[in-house]
Amino acid sequence: MSKIFLDHASTTPLDEKVLEVMMPYLKQEFGNPSSVHEYGREARAAIERAREKIAFTLNADLKEIVFTSGGTESVNTVHKGVAFASHGKARHFIISAIEHSCVLETAEWLTNQGYPVTVVGCQSDGWIDPKEVQKAIRPGETRMISIMAANNEVGTIQPIREIGKMAREQGILFHTDAVQAYGKIPLDVQKDYIDFLSVSGHKIYGPKGSGFFYHRRGVDMVPLIHGGGQEKDHRGGTENVAGIVGMAEAAWNLCNEVEERQRLRTITQLFWEELLKSLPDAKLNGPAKEERRLPGLINITLPGIEGETLVHSLDSKGFAASAGAACAAGSAPPSHVLVAMGRTAKEAKQGLRLSFGRSTAETQVKLLVNVLPNIVEQLKKMSSFFEDDEAQAPVK
C-alpha cells in the first residue's frame, strides 16, 4: 500500500539538497567552530554564512540571529530571558489562548514564578483582534506581548504588524512564534515591528534539532543556557554545524518558493470544494477566505466523528493526517484552539488537520476526497452499532 503524507504542519521531509549541503559537516568538515585552527575556522565560517542567509530572509542583521535546537527552546529562551531581565513593575506578559503549547506552558511557568500573564481570546475563525490585545495592556507594567504569526492547527494568519506597531509605540516588547508561518508568508522584522521571533528547522524541510530566534539588537534578555560563550553569550554549547547549515539552506529555498505557495493554496481549495460535493455537512475550522490561512493547511470537522478516530482510519488507508498539534497527538483533551474559537468540548475533539507540502500532488488530494466518504459512512455505522448496543444493555 502506498503512503501519502498529509501532515506537513507536524514535520517535513528533509530536502535532498539540504542533506547534500549538510554532509560535509557530518564527515570531513567536523571541526569545533570554537577552535582557532583551520578545522574550527572552516566550521565557524559555515555558521556565519548560514546566519547571514537566514538574516536576509527576515530583513534582519546577521548579529541578531541566535541558533538553537528548535522552536521550543527558542520560545523558552525568549520568554524566560525577557522575564529575568525585567526591571521594576514591568513584569506582565500577554499571550493568546491559541498559542502553541510551548508558549502556553512557559507562560504558566512564568506565572508560578511571579510574572503575571494575561491570555486574550480569539474570534470564531481563530483571528486575534488587536483591540483585545490593546485592552489587556497594563501601562507601565506590560513587559512583552507574544502572539503567533499563524496558528498551527487551523492556519489563521494573525495581524502581527498591527500588534507589533502597537507594542513598539507603547514601549512593550513583541515576540512572535513563527514556527508555522516562516517561509510560507512574508515576514519582515523591521516592517512588522518584531523584537523576537522563533523558528524551527524541521518545519521548513530542514533537519530536526535545529532552530533559531531573532533578537533585536539592544533589547535586554538573559541567556537560558550558560557556558562556553557561544552565540555571542546568548546560548552556550557547541553549535550543531550541520544542522545550522542545513536549516539555512532549507530556509533560503522555501522563502523563495512563491509559485509553490500558490500551488498549495490551489490544491487546498480544490480539496475543500470537492469534499463539500460528497460531504456537504463538513465544516471548516478557520477563516473562509483562503488568503487569511496558511497555504496548504486546512482544518475541518466531519460532524459526529472524532478527529483522532478519523486519523487512525485514514492511516489504515495509507494517509498520514493529524487531529491537531503533533505535540498533543494521542491525548484525550479537546483542542484548546478549537475551544478558544467557541467550539464545545465535543466539537473540539472532531477537528481533522490536513497539511499539504511539496510532495502533495493534486491526484493525491482527489484520492483523499474519494476515500473520506466511505470512511465516514463506516465510522457512523460503527457509532450507531455501539449506541444501540448500549441502549439495549440491561440496567445493573
Cα-atom radius of gyration of the chain, to the nearest Å? 22
Residue 71: which of 383, 388, 327 has the closest Cα?
A: 327
Torsion sign (Cα): 83, 84, 90, 92: positive
Active site residue 255: no
Residue 198: which of 288, 102, 275 has the closest Cα?
A: 102
Cβ-proximal residues to 248 (8 Å cutoff; 6+ apart), any chain? 49, 50, 51, 53, 54
Report residue 386 as a C-alpha cell. Answer: 455501539
Q: Is 21 exposed, middle or buried (0-12, 13-18, 19+ CB in 10 A)?
A: middle
CA 344 to CA 72: how far, in whole Å? Answer: 29
Phi/psi region, residue 232 (left: phi>0; alpha: psi -120 to 50; beta: rest), is left
Residue 63: CB atoms within 10 Å? 12
Q: Which of 102, 122, 255, 327 is catalytic?
A: 327
CA angle (343, 199, 6) in 5-degree steps: 55
Report residue 222 as a C-alpha cell. Answer: 538573559
Relative orientation angle of helices 71-84 and 101-112, to the nearest 10 degrees: 30
CA dihedral (71, 77, 78, 82) in degrees, to 10, reads 170
Report residue 56 as a C-alpha cell. Answer: 536576509
Report residue 320 as a C-alpha cell. Answer: 498520514
CA 158 to CA 186: how far, in whole Å? Answer: 12
**What does each C-alpha distance from 306 to 46, 302, 353 come to in angstroms?**
47, 8, 12
Residues with a known catalytic role: 327
